[in-house]
Amino acid sequence: NVSVRKGEWLFGKGFGSKQPLPFSSTVIINAGQKIMGHKKKTSLKATLQSQQARLKNKQKATHAAEAAEVKGKRKGKGKAPPLRPTIPFTPTDKILLIGEGNFSFAHALIIDPPSSLEHLPPSNITATAYDSEQECYDKYPEARSNVNTLRERGAEILFGVDATKLEKCSALKARRFDRVVWNFPHAGKGITDQDRNILSNQMLILGFLRSVVNYLVEGPVPTSDLPKKRKRPADDDDDEGDVIDDATDEDIGASSPSTAHPTRGKVLITLRNVPPYSVWRVYPGDINCLPLTFTYRDVPRLAKTPPKPTSLGNPLNPNYKLLRSFVFHRNMWKGYEHRMTKGERAHGQGTTGEGGEDRTWEFCLKD
């Protein structure tokens, strides 16, 4: 195929007499035919070289575009998927809530839960408070409405339940739970001496961990599909090599544990890295020694390496395995309020723990 411009002349067999073309065109030249035109001629070799150059440039451009696309994919390969808040429950769990205060967490769990828990039966929830029913309503005026709603839905509400002496609650006798949850435990004794205050809260958690043993579902140790990370200081005495610790953010891609294989019950304790929780220094030795200010990350050590009993008559403290920790998002639980143990009587506000980070620690009993 040869392009011929307007005004050029064609000679040769098959074209008849010499005549100019009235328009630009492309004609097919058979073997032996010639095109006569301007004195400036373009050889076939030059045409081929020009075409080859254009083809090579096109191939280079295509290759560059492909290389850029591959580079972009590699660069994004290491990026983590979008993070989702951890929901540590499943719709089939039987859940025991300790120290509910105004019952706002139980209310959020049943009335307006995250989408993954929409089918959680209210009858699976047992919510408890340390105070008597009237004391609870006096401390937290909104508790009465929450309790009435929960009871209407079919949840079980228990008052006067001491977390360190669960065995004294007849309604819990011979029962076991998949999850036992205590959000922001605090002795609420109002002790002004910091060391004695810290010690009272350590004893509170120790007593709870000792008492809850007989109320946890038995089964194999839970496993997690979450990425295993270790972010520990060099002097950390943690002997667990499989701790899942997302110190800076949520568990990646986590919502709820798998229900395919039932596992032993879990204990979930939520704390905040502000006083008083941030100064609950835990000692693996004698609990009677005076504590020192440390970080809220040391609270799990109390569960994993509890102190020995101070007297022969006291039972041994159980050892727990730390499964993971994750950020506790209050806004995931609509209507939930973190209230002071003293309730509305504390300066007329009844709220605490402003600032800092809320974190839930998840344990199960060791073999």
DSSP class per residue in 59-127: HHHHHHHHHHHHHHHHHHHTSPPPP-------TT--EEEE--TTTHHHHHHHHS--GGGTT--GGGEEE
Give me the pLDDT at residue 355, please.
65
Give me the pLDDT at residue 152, please.
97
Beta bridge partners of 42: none
Which residues are CB-contacts of 99 (< 8 A; sequence separation ≥ 6)? Answer: 128, 129, 130, 163, 182, 183, 184, 185
CATH code: domain 95-221+262-345+353-365 is 3.40.50
Tens of pLDDT, residue by residue over 168-208, are 999 999 999 999 999 988 876 666 666 777 778 888 888 99
Give me the pLDDT at residue 299, please.
65
Q: What angle do CA 242, 248, 250 make, to 5 degrees?
A: 75
| Residue closest to 350 by CA, chosen among 136, 109, 134 | 136
User: Per the structure block, which two tokens stand in for 77?
Assistant: 């390969």
Give me the pLDDT at residue 75, please.
60
Give me the pLDDT at residue 209, please.
93
Give me the pLDDT at residue 281, please.
44
Q: Whole-angstrom Cα distance, residue 298 to residue 305?
A: 11
Sheet holding 19-20, edge to edge: 19-20, 9-11, 34-36
Q: Whole-angstrom Cα distance, residue 286 to residue 308?
A: 7
| Residue closest to 126 by CA, chosen among 92, 149, 104, 94 | 94
Give me the pLDDT at residue 41, please.
57
The separation between the first and the last C-alpha atoms of the chain, rounded to the nearest angstrom, is: 85
Give me the pLDDT at residue 73, please.
65
Tens of pLDDT, residue by residue over 46-83, are 777 777 887 888 778 777 877 777 776 666 556 666 67
Give me the pLDDT at residue 323, please.
92
Sketch the domain layout of the chain as residue ranges.
95-221+262-345+353-365
Tell me the pTM: 0.66
Mean pLDDT per 10-residue section of the chain, whose length is 367 residues = 50 49 48 48 73 80 77 62 84 96 96 94 97 95 96 98 96 97 81 70 88 95 60 43 43 45 90 67 39 48 75 79 91 85 48 70 92
